[in-house]
């Protein structure tokens, strides 16, 4: 049965994530990040930031609440039992720091079929409380045996 491409272009309700200082420190420690910008308020302020800075891949943390409804949407039609992670790409804008409120909007960028597999490409755009884009993500999921 071919994949249903009718959900391509669909956009979901934005989700907002409040970035906490301790969450950034916990994340940095969990991934082995030792740069003081991610751990020490004084080091971050000395470098010109308002507070500790999020490591780049923290983007997954603030984007995930917006991605879940898209991936789980019955109209998109992903068979989760057959899904594998195809890839992620990020383009970062201004730095995310503790105290920011990041609003992420997810959309279905493309749905296609190749070699008996469904390719589901999503895009997230995350902006801070000032409307500045902090990250644009492209998320690809592959569903085997469509």
* Segment 54-103, tens digit of pLDDT: 999 999 999 999 999 999 999 999 999 999 999 999 999 999 999 999 99
Res 1: pLDDT:
59
Q: Let me know if 106 is exposed, middle or buried by CB neighbors in 10 A (0-12, 13-18, 19+).
A: buried
Q: Is the pLDDT of residue 146 over 90?
A: no
Radius of gyration for the chain, computed over Cα atoms and rounded to the nearest angstrom = 17
Closest CA to 122 of 105, 107, 112, 133: 107
What are the tokens at 55? 């490591």
* pLDDT averaged over every residue in the chain: 96
Reduced to 3 states (helix: H, G, I; strand: E, B; else coil), residue 136 is strand
Query: What is Dmax (Cα atoms) for the chain?
Result: 58
What mean pLDDT do residues 98-124 have? 97
């Amino acid at each position: 049965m071919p994949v249903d491409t009718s959900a391509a272009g669909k956009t979901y309700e934005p989700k907002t994530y409040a970035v906490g200082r301790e969450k950034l420190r916990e994340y940095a420690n969990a991934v082995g990040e030792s740069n003081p910008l991610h751990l020490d308020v004084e080091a971050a302020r000395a470098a010109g930031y308002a507070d500790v800075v999020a490591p780049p891949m923290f983007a997954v943390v603030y984007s995930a609440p917006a991605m879940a409804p898209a991936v789980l949407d019955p109209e998109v039609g992903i068979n989760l039992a057959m899904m594998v992670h195809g890839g992620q790409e990020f383009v970062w804008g201004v730095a995310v720091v503790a105290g920011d409120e990041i609003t992420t909007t997810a959309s279905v960028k493309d749905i296609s079929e190749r070699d008996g597999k469904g390719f589901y490409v999503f895009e997230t755009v995350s902006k801070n409380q000032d409307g500045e884009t902090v990250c644009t993500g492209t998320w690809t999921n592959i569903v085997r045996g469509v």
